[in-house]
Amino acid sequence: MALIVQKYGGTSVGNTGRIKNVAARVARYRSKGDQIVVVVSAMSGVTDNLITLAREIMPLPSEREMDVLLATGEQTTIALTAMALHALGVKAVSLTGSQAGILTDGVHTKAKIQNITPKEIHRHLDDGNVVIVAGFQGETPDGQITTLGRGGSDLTAIALASALKADLCQIYTDVDGVYTADPRIVPGARKLDEISYDEMLELASLGAKVMQSRSVEFAKKFGVVFEVRSSLNDNPGTIVKEETRNMEDVVIRGVSLDKNQAKVTLVAVPDKPGVAARIFKTLGDAAINVDMIVQNVSHGAGAPATDVSFTVEKADLLKAQKVIEGLKKEVRFGEVIATDKIGKLSIVGVGMKSHSGVAGKMFETLAKEGVNIEMISTSEIKISVVIDLAKAEQAMNAVHETFLG
């Protein structure tokens, strides 16, 4: 008898018909004699409706009260899911985050799980119940309702799998698993059978939106093996786990493209200590997340000067430009060039560590396609380049063909 944690997202429980489908799947697993804990999100659209109501009241509602409000979304789903299991003759009981023993810190709307006391879950499992737990929510030690922020339901599932020492943790979503590339852009993309936490993290942070980084990080930290799979069919999904030796046989696991970046270049920045710190400290103070930073070597005959480029999210571009303009008097750089017509193309794979020449092969492929590389950044298992947005999808297909075709 195995203990399985299954998580179903908002689309999978988007209406009562889909909730019945979820129940049918859970019942099928249950009929094999396994114990099942189901984590569900709010029905798709419900959270947005609640946010709209709150905004009708005031533009920036209290975060404590937002949590009280939003927590009703998952509470609705757990009750309906339990009922749908009853309708199939399966014993089931619902638990809110608080009832499930999910304790968090007090940072409302983005609380961190501190501890899980799964006493109630075990009690109901032992009574022969499927236990339905509200994702995305918990409570503080003094009984305040909290929510976990973006990707919170995935986090609930993985944290529960860890606390319950589950044999299996399945994250059901509307895609079949993790792909070598976005199939909407790369027709030849293939579903991966397995991927390491680190590769998944690089892909998550690169905008392959299967899961939020924090859930993967949590899984990595506590060694929770999980499977990303579709709630629409019975295809096996992608197993996410610690890297194994044979994973390194594959040089590149996947290719991703982030079109949500913008680039700012400061021309002729005085090349002296403290200047870069001044620039990026100021951006950080303005809560602007800087992703890639590239600084060229000094040039020119007079006072040493350098060009500094960095990328930010598109939504932050105007704000970043304003912050930079404010520094102009003090730092005394030249022109500021900004563009959001860029794409960040990345290849990811733990195999890179043991295979040389990967970067060269990637750059060669881009050159053949006539694609100019504007910025480069690398990590141990990732190479990213910033290129012209107009050629980004063509470049992505070419790179995918080179490494994964």
Strand partners, 335: none
Q: Any contact of residue 82 with a copy of itself (CB under 8 A)?
A: yes
Residues in region 134-153 near a copy of itself by CB under 8 A = 143, 145
Residues 308, 313, 318, 323, CA torsion sign: negative
Distance (Å, whole) CA 229 – CA 195: 13
∠129-135-136 over CA atoms, to 5°? 160
389: three-class secondary structure by DSSP: helix
Helix pair angle (392-404, 358-368), 10° resolution: 130
**Binds a copy of itself by CB under 8 A, chosen from 13, 26, 69, 251:** 69
The minimum distance between CB 360 and a copy of itself, in angstroms, equals 57
Rank residues 16 and 372 by Cβ distance to a copy of itself and give the closer one. Answer: 16
Q: What is the DSSP string of 73-113?
A: HHHHHHHHHHHHHHHTT--EEEE-TTTTTEEE-S-TTSPPE
DSSP letter (8 states) at residue 367: H
Residue 152 structure tokens: 């919170």
**Binds a copy of itself by CB under 8 A, chosen from 1, 33, 57, 234:** 57
Q: Any contact of residue 168 with a copy of itself (CB under 8 A)?
A: no
Size of the site for a copy of itself (CB under 8 A): 35
Distance (Å, whole) CA 388 – CA 339: 10
The minimum distance between CB 23 and a copy of itself, in angstroms, equals 9
Stretch that binds a copy of itself, among 4-12, 90-98, 159-167, 348-356 (CB under 8 A): 90-98
**Binds a copy of itself by CB under 8 A, chosen from 93, 169, 203, 257:** 93
Give the CA-trace dihedral at 104, 105, 106, 111, to 10 degrees: -70
Stretch that binds a copy of itself, among 27-35, 55-63, 270-278, 323-331 (CB under 8 A): 55-63
Rank residues 86 and 355 by Cβ distance to a copy of itself and give the closer one. Answer: 86
Residues in region 103-122 near a copy of itself by CB under 8 A = 120
Q: Any contact of residue 94 with a copy of itself (CB under 8 A)?
A: yes
Give me the residues that bind a copy of itself (CB under 8 A), please.
Answer: 16, 19-20, 50, 53-54, 56-58, 61-62, 64-66, 68-69, 71-72, 75-76, 78-80, 82-84, 86-87, 93-94, 96, 99, 120, 143, 145
